[in-house]
Amino acid sequence: MLPPFDPWLSSAISADVMLAARAGAAALAARQARRLAALLAAAARGSALYRPLLAGRDPARVPLQDLPIQHKAELMRRFDDWVADPLLRLDALRAFTADRARIAEPFLGRYMVWESSGSTGEPGMFVQDTRAMAVCDALEALRRPMLRPWQPMLDPWRLGERIAFVGATSGHFASTVSIERLRRLNPALANCMHGISFLQPTSQWVAELQALAPTVLATYPSAAVLLAEERLAGRAGLHLHEIWTGGEALSPAMRGFLQQAFGCPVANNYGASEFLSLASECPGGHLHLNSDWVILEPVDGQGHAVPAGTAGTTTLLTNLANHVQPLIRYDLGDRVTLQVQPCACGSRLPVIEVQGRDDDTLRLGEPGMPVVQVLPLALSTVLEDDAGLFDFQVVQQGPSELLLRTGLCGDEASRTLGRARTVLTSFLEEQGVAGVHIHCHSGQPARRGRSGKIQRVVALQP
């Protein structure tokens, strides 16, 4: 069965996305207000969670700040009340995503479904209808920076490119579901889009990349840096035209290193499972928030708005595209700064700065032995998917010594940590590093990184 797709709806939304990119601040604000009113009206009709909060109120006159802040753990606990379609049930969705053969298959024939990682200690489940996917498609296609200005004229659908995504490809994660959905919808894209799992040993996924010989690489900054190191060491003969990164912080130093190693431009974007395309880079390298389809509110620790130019303790997200699973003032967990001045590029879409996930790449191995690099997202995926551990922090304490701690307590925490130690030991052995000592502690809260989220993987500092 093909994933949901409405060509007429997609065309209309794409046209609006193109027009809004050139619109002034007033026109953007009008779009945002109109879509917020429509979202609140849909939530009042369909969501048992939001119905009492919005009953008897005019959706066009409800101040967003009057509504309560929502947190993932509570929303997931009340999932069946939260969603606006009574046929959506969390138990059925969990059974669906447990089957990896069903990645990008439409749930109930009309919904795209993906699960998030537990980077805030709680995994999420997110459902997208045809309209939400049309918005995602338009923002991804039309607001991604043009790194080669002539390329859209010669190959607007990138059918001449070979695009490789390096990440966790074996689960119902947003990137993997999105790629497989496009491959199913357009057979031509099936030949030029490929996913490669970074859960394999580095030498294996690098060899897969070399065999594929991609022209465009899409991955996380930590994986791109590792690949650049492999290339400079002569172990990865890739010739890339573009590199797309996201999901982690990309520092200026990392960007410069990638450009030097591969001799090609690098574009970074900002997205989340809750909204895939939050912001895209302009030619000047600034992230522009897609404020016609999403609202971000940087707030302090008490949930009060912070002034523009100030980083919040966390950020609240309101997704204006998704009416089936209303995300309204949802605590995203990231630290975002809304800039005061408009961008010199001319766009009136707000400029933001994001202090993203800042987990470390581990370098394991005793002195005199080969050092094995382990990507933080690969390690996190294994602990989540194979051990069922989401509240954790891994701290490197020596060349072959790790501390695995969790804030969980009690017998269940001990059993989960034991399972996690076994899974992690096996994974590290597959990566080529054996004899790692893993100490497990429960009842220990993890420290938070610059992003405001828990820094889940902390490398040994020199």
Same domain, 435 and 348: no
The rounded mean pLDDT for the chain is 91
β-pair type (351-355, 335-338) = antiparallel
| Total number of domains in the chain | 2
**For position 315, which CATH number holds?**
3.40.50.12780
Integer Cα distance of 368 and 363 in angstroms: 13
Structural domain range at position 90? 7-355
DSSP labels for 247-296?
SS---HHHHHHHHHHH-S-EEEEEEETTEEEEEEE-TTS-EEE-TTTEEE
| Residue 85 counted as domain residue | yes
Same domain, 343 and 410: no
Region 235-256: mean pLDDT is: 90
Which tokens in the block code for residue 4? 């949901």
Integer Cα distance of 141 and 14 in angstroms: 9
Region 92-109: mean pLDDT is: 95
Asked if pLDDT for residue 257 goes beyond 70, the answer is yes
Same domain, 278 and 425: no
**For position 422, which CATH number holds?**
3.30.300
Among the three residues 297, 328, 355, which one is the final residue of a domain in this structure? 355
Q: Is residue 284 a contact partner of residue 297, using CB atoms and an 8 Å limit?
A: no
Asked if pLDDT for residue 311 goes beyond 70, the answer is yes
Integer Cα distance of 144 and 146 in angstroms: 6
Region 113-129: mean pLDDT is: 82
* Positive/negative CA dihedral, 413, 417, 420, 424: positive
Same domain, 172 and 270: yes
Same domain, 208 and 265: yes
- pLDDT value at residue 148: 66
| Residue 2 counted as domain residue | no
Region 151-166: mean pLDDT is: 70
Which tokens in the block code for residue 262? 């591969």
Band of pLDDT at residue 300, cut at 50, 70 and 90: very high
Q: Is 110 helix (H, G, I), strand (E, B) or coil?
A: coil
Least confident piece of the model among 67-81, 105-119, 131-145, 284-298: 105-119
Q: Which of 72, 74, 79, 80 is nearest to 117 (CA)?
A: 72
Same domain, 384 and 402: yes
Among the three residues 339, 355, 371, which one is the final residue of a domain in this structure? 355
- pLDDT value at residue 451: 41
Asked if pLDDT for residue 143 goes beyond 80, the answer is yes
- pLDDT value at residue 453: 57
Same domain, 284 and 380: no
Same domain, 344 and 409: no
Asked if pLDDT for residue 449 goes beyond 80, the answer is no
Band of pLDDT at residue 452, cut at 50, 70 and 90: very low
- pLDDT value at residue 102: 96
| Residue 255 counted as domain residue | yes
Alpha helix segments (H runs only) across 83-124: 90-97
Instruction: Please write the tens of the pLDDT for every residue from 4-53.
Output: 899 999 999 999 999 999 999 999 999 999 999 999 999 999 999 999 99
What does the H/E/C string look like for 2-66?
CCCCCHHHHHHHHHHHHHHHCCCHHHHHHHHHHHHHHHHHHHHHHCCCCHHHHCCCCHHHCCHHH
Helix, strand, coil abundance in the chain, percent, nearest 5: 35, 20, 40
Asked if pLDDT for residue 235 goes beyond 60, the answer is yes
Place of tokens 């995926």: 381
Same domain, 346 and 387: no
| Residue 1 counted as domain residue | no
Task: Report angle CA 121, 101, 430 to the nearest 5 degrees.
Answer: 65
Instruction: Please write the tens of the pLDDT for every residue from 323-355.
Output: 999 999 999 989 999 998 889 999 999 999 998
Band of pLDDT at residue 427, cut at 50, 70 and 90: very high
Alpha helix segments (H runs only) across 299-346: none
* Length, in residues, of the chain: 462
- pLDDT value at residue 76: 96
| Residue 133 counted as domain residue | yes
- The b/e string for 370-379 (b: 16+ C-beta within 10 A; e otherwise) is eebbbbbbbb
Instruction: Please write the tens of the pLDDT for every residue from 358-391.
Output: 789 999 998 888 899 999 989 998 998 889 888 8
Region 294-309: mean pLDDT is: 95
β-pair type (362-364, 351-355) = unpaired
| Number of other residues whose CB lies within 10 A of the CB of residue 97 | 20
Integer Cα distance of 120 and 143 in angstroms: 28
Band of pLDDT at residue 116, cut at 50, 70 and 90: confident
Region 51-76: mean pLDDT is: 96
Measure Cα distances from 296 to 273, 305, 353 in Å. 15, 10, 12
Among the three residues 325, 355, 385, which one is the final residue of a domain in this structure? 355
Integer Cα distance of 175 and 178 in angstroms: 5
Same domain, 381 and 280: no
| Residue 74 counted as domain residue | yes
Task: Report angle CA 444, 446, 449 to the nearest 5 degrees.
Answer: 165
Q: What percentage of the chain reaches a pLDDT higher than 90?
A: 75
On the 0-12 / 13-18 / 19+ scale of CB atoms within 10 A, 85 is middle
- pLDDT value at residue 151: 59
- pLDDT value at residue 450: 43
Q: Which of 137, 156, 140 is nearest to 148 (CA)?
A: 156
Same domain, 335 and 378: no
Least confident piece of the model among 142-146, 193-197, 440-444, 457-461: 142-146
Integer Cα distance of 134 and 220 in angstroms: 24
Find the helix packing angle between 130-142 and 7-21, rounded to 10°: 40
Asked if pLDDT for residue 134 goes beyond 80, the answer is yes
Q: Is 348 helix (H, G, I), strand (E, B) or coil?
A: coil
Same domain, 243 and 333: yes
Least confident piece of the model among 32-36, 50-54, 153-157, 402-406: 153-157
- pLDDT value at residue 447: 63
